[in-house]
Amino acid sequence: MKKFTGTKLKIFETALKLFAQQGYKATTMRQIAKEIGIQQSAIYNHFKSKEAILDAIIEQLSHSYLINVFENKEPQDVYKKGRGVLKNIANIFKLMTYDTKTDLLFRFLMQELFNNSKLRVFYNEDFYQKNVKKLSAIFFMMMQDEMIESMDPLFLANEFFSPLFFYQLQITRLKADNQSTSAAATLFEKHAEFFWEKIKIKEPKQETLF
Amino acid sequence: MKKFTGTKLKIFETALKLFAQQGYKATTMRQIAKEIGIQQSAIYNHFKSKEAILDAIIEQLSHSYLINVFENKEPQDVYKKGRGVLKNIANIFKLMTYDTKTDLLFRFLMQELFNNSKLRVFYNEDFYQKNVKKLSAIFFMMMQDEMIESMDPLFLANEFFSPLFFYQLQITRLKADNQSTSAAATLFEKHAEFFWEKIKIKEPKQETLF
DNA sequence: ATTTATTAAGAACAAGTGTTCATATTTAAT
DNA sequence: ATTAAATATGAACACTTGTTCTTAATAAAT
């Protein structure tokens, strides 16, 4: 993963910000240049075209937190923590919304999702499928260990994932209007807690002898 | 609610389709005109500007199924149906994805949400808040009637709403790539079923006498 | 049938678009 | 210090954008 520096980095960051705020098409090269304080033609010393900037941003997406909700941990190494796993995942979603760059990348992703097929492939494979399948594997192991009720693990993964995604979208929207996100930010953890309580297998009440 | 006819209707429909597919900014007046088979200047006999078309579409949103998930039914009239209410709502979401126009409106909404503050206000007030609050009222009544467990009804409403929204988004995305949506479409009902089972208060087991 | 709106066409305009070019300035390497 | 490479400038180009204008065709009203 190549990191940009100097002017090239500034162009990249400014473009990401503007693309996320206004959309790719609505953002002009002059606007990017002006924000940095350089001439528009100077951009072309760093990126061959406007689309090249777009490609660089999409490339960056692959290395962002967005697709690393599990921090590269394997299902069999974490599933035993039960409720803790869910809370941990919820917390990573929460942290993402606090990280300015991840937030911009997410907003950019949502902004361009429906008119960029390359992004849809990324979203589906690297973001949605990857996370849901890993979640599914975790739930499956929990079922085998009789920690949670038995059912379709992939469906369960979708049910757990979707509110997290939705709350993230909500926060991104609120930020776009400079509104407070604190109330929404609590929903991640509440969701994990609520969800676990609903799927866990309750310990059979121990009959008291006296 | 004024309905368009003739050329004006064609312009409206074509613009909605293109805005939903490519975004507002990326769609040109020439493109709209060409698709209909008229001259670009002819559009201006029906709409004063490109933005006027946009406004007309946003206006239409207010009358679409998107904000009428409850079909104008009041909470106190439906909550007693319990599981049936949830299934009904899930079904309306499913039907929305089958309705081409609603699907286009939803895709348009998502496409422009992050660069159009007017749309964000609409999304928040007329789509999100309105539905979640009505849901919340229903859950509250269910709690008072001891049909479901007691907890924060607004949170519960969010938890029920968010997967429906997410599945709708998934289907819209799949359609954009001409992929099959049948598997995703089953998730609405599964969600309602799953959710109800998790929150309903189980009848205490009747002790058999013999 | 004649008048009057309504809608269409076609050309044109002014502004904005991404991009290129020749040239100057700065930075890095020898 | 000199050379070479990288980065900046400012003007220009070719093209697209939304919109307007004049004029012609069509439809509605008298």
Whether the CB-CB separation of B167 and B184 falls below 8 Å is answered with: yes
The model's pTM: 0.94
Q: Is A173 part of a structural domain of the chain?
A: yes
Q: Is A176 part of a structural domain of the chain?
A: yes
Most confident of A2-11, A69-78, B44-53: B44-53
pLDDT score of B55 more than 80: yes
- Does residue A76 sit in the same domain as residue A156? yes
Cβ contact, residue pair A21, B114, below 8 Å: yes
B7: Cα separation from own chain's centroid: 28
Measured distance CA(B108)–CA(B119) in Å, rounded: 10
Q: Is A86 part of a structural domain of the chain?
A: yes
Tell me how far CA of residue B155 lies from CA of A191, A203, B135, B139, in angstroms: 9, 26, 10, 10
Q: Is A84 part of a structural domain of the chain?
A: yes
- Does residue A112 sit in the same domain as residue A43? no
Cβ contact, residue pair B115, A23, below 8 Å: yes
A12: Cα separation from own chain's centroid: 20
Mutant choice from A115, A117, A168 vs B, greatest count of B C-beta within 10 A: A115
Q: Is A119 exposed, middle or buried (0-12, 13-18, 19+ CB in 10 A)?
A: buried
Q: How many residues does chain B have?
A: 210
Q: Is B81 part of a structural domain of the chain?
A: yes
- Does residue A80 sit in the same domain as residue A6? no
> For residue B199, which residues of chain A lie inside 8 Å, CB to CB?
198
Tell me how far CA of residue B175 lies from CA of A113, B103, B109, in angstroms: 12, 9, 15
- Does residue B43 sit in the same domain as residue B85? no
Nucleotides of C under 7 A from a protein CB: 6-12, 16-22
Cβ contact, residue pair A176, B114, below 8 Å: yes
Cβ contact, residue pair A166, B162, below 8 Å: yes
Q: Is B192 part of a structural domain of the chain?
A: yes
- Of A123-127, B46-50, B108-112, B204-208, minimum mean pLDDT range: B204-208
- Does residue B148 sit in the same domain as residue B112? yes
pLDDT score of B61 more than 70: yes
Report CA(A29)–C1'(C19) in Å, whole number: 10
Nearest to A115 among B111, B128, B158 (CB): B111
Mutant choice from A121, A148, A162 vs B, greatest count of B C-beta within 10 A: A162
Q: What is the pLDDT of residues B152-178, one digit of tens each?
A: 999 999 999 999 999 999 999 999 999
As a whole number, mean pLDDT of residues A52-65 equals 94
Q: How many residues does chain A have?
A: 210
> What integer pLDDT is reported at residue A112 of this predicted model?
98
- Does residue B87 sit in the same domain as residue B163? yes
> What integer pLDDT is reported at residue A91 of this predicted model?
95
- Does residue B98 sit in the same domain as residue B167? yes
- Does residue A96 sit in the same domain as residue A26? no
> What integer pLDDT is reported at residue A71 of this predicted model?
72
> For residue A114, which residues of chain B lie inside 8 Å, CB to CB?
20-21, 23, 107, 110-111, 172-173, 176
Instruction: Tell me which DSSP letter residue B80 carries.
Output: G
- Does residue B156 sit in the same domain as residue B121? yes
Question: What CATH code is carried by the domain that includes residue B39?
Answer: 1.10.10.60
Cβ contact, residue pair A177, B120, below 8 Å: yes
Give the CA angle between residues B170, B174, B176 to the nearest 5°: 120
Question: What CATH code is carried by the domain that includes residue B69?
Answer: 1.10.357
Q: What phi, psi does A26 have (nearest 5°)?
A: -80, -15
Nucleotide nearest to B10 (CA to C1'): C7
- Does residue A165 sit in the same domain as residue A190? yes
- Does residue B35 sit in the same domain as residue B71? no
**Considering chain B, what percentage of its residues have pLDDT values greater than 70?**
96
Q: Is A193 part of a structural domain of the chain?
A: yes
Cβ contact, residue pair B177, A120, below 8 Å: yes
Measured distance CA(A171)–CA(B190) in Å, rounded: 27
Q: What is the pLDDT of residues A103-121, one digit of tens each?
A: 999 999 999 999 999 999 9
As a whole number, mean pLDDT of residues A25-32 equals 98
Measured distance CA(A72)–CA(B160) in Å, rounded: 30
Q: Is B207 part of a structural domain of the chain?
A: no
> What integer pLDDT is reported at residue A206 of this predicted model?
59
- Does residue B79 sit in the same domain as residue B27? no
Whether the CB-CB separation of A120 and B21 falls below 8 Å is answered with: no
Chain B contact for A26, CB < 8 A?
yes
How many domains does chain B fold into? 2
What is the nearest CA distance from A134 to chain B, expressed in angstroms?
18
Domain carrying residue B24 = 1-50
Nearest to B166 among A113, A166, A194 (CB): A166
